[in-house]
Amino acid sequence: MTYASLIDLAAEEKSAEVTNWGGRIGWLVGLALFVALVYWLMRQGWQWRRRLQADLPELATAPEAPGEARLELSGRYHGSTTAGQWLDRIVAHGLGVRSKVELTLTDAGLDVVRPGANDFFVPADRLRGARLDKGIAGKVLTEGGLLVVTWSHGDRLIDSGFRSDRAEQHPAWVQAINPMTKTFEQPTTTTEGAAR
C-alpha cells in the first residue's frame, strides 16, 4: 500500500458521531421535570400537614423578666412531633423547621431562641418531661444523642428534639426539667417503640 492510497483511505473514513445531543438534552429535561415533580409533591405534603395542624394555637413568647438562667445550651433544633409518635412531625407555626438553637431554662420555663426561625417559650407549668433518645422525625442519632422535651400546647402533647453542641450536657437537662414537670398519664414512646 502506497502512501497516497493510505491518505485516500483515511480521507474516505469518517469517524462516528461521538455525542447525541438531542438524546442528552431529552434526558436532562426529563430528569429536571422529575426532580420538580418530587419537590412539588413534597411541598404539597408539607402544606397539607400544616392545614391539618391549623388548630394548634400560636406559640408563647418569653416573658420580659424570665428570671435567672438555670441551664443554657447551644446546638440544633431538630423538630417537633406529637408526643409518643416520633415520626408524626408538627409543622404548624414553624415547628417543623430545623435550625440552630439557644435554649435557656429558667424557673419561668424553657426559652427556645432559633435564629432564622420562630422563637417560642414553654412555660414551666406546660413542661411534661425530658428524656434522652436517639431520634425524632427525620433525624436519628446514637442512643442518648438527642434531648427530647415533652410539653403541652393547647390540647396537644408535643415532643421537641434538641442536640447540644456538647452532648454530655443532655443528662443535666433531663435532671433539671423532670422535677419541674407536672405528671401526665399518656406514656411517651421512644424511637424503639417501647413505652416509657
Rounded Cα distance, 159 and 122, in Å: 12
Rounded Cα distance, 169 and 164, in Å: 7
Mean pLDDT of 111-138: 89
Residue 136 grid coordinates: 425524632
**Which pLDDT score is estimated for 2?**
67
pLDDT at 179 over 60: yes
pLDDT at 127 over 70: yes
pLDDT at 124 over 60: yes
Rounded Cα distance, 153 and 80, in Å: 12
**Which helix H or strand E contains 42, and what residues bound it?**
helix 21-52
**Which pLDDT score is estimated for 21?**
78
Mean pLDDT of 152-158: 88
Q: pLDDT per residue over 41-65, tens digit each?
A: 888 776 777 677 767 888 888 888 8
**Which pLDDT score is estimated for 196?**
45
Q: Is 177 within 8 Å of 183 (Cβ atoms)?
A: no
Rounded Cα distance, 124 and 57, in Å: 18
Owner of C-alpha cell 405528671? 183
**Which pLDDT score is estimated for 8?**
61
Mean pLDDT of 154-165: 89
Quick one: pLDDT band at residue 14, thresholds 50, 70, 90? low
Mean pLDDT of 70-96: 87
Q: What percent of the chain has pLDDT over 90?
A: 31
Rounded Cα distance, 17 and 3, in Å: 27
**Residues in Cβ contact with 89 at an 8 Å cutoff, skipping those fewer than 6 apart:** 49, 79, 80, 81, 96, 137, 138
**Which pLDDT score is estimated for 95?**
86
Residue 55 is which amino acid? D
**Which pLDDT score is estimated for 40?**
87
pTM of the model as a whole = 0.69
- CB neighbourhood size of 39 (10 A): 10
- CB neighbourhood size of 61 (10 A): 11
Quick one: pLDDT band at residue 162, thresholds 50, 70, 90? very high
Q: Is 133 within 8 Å of 125 (Cβ atoms)?
A: no
Quick one: pLDDT band at residue 82, thresholds 50, 70, 90? confident
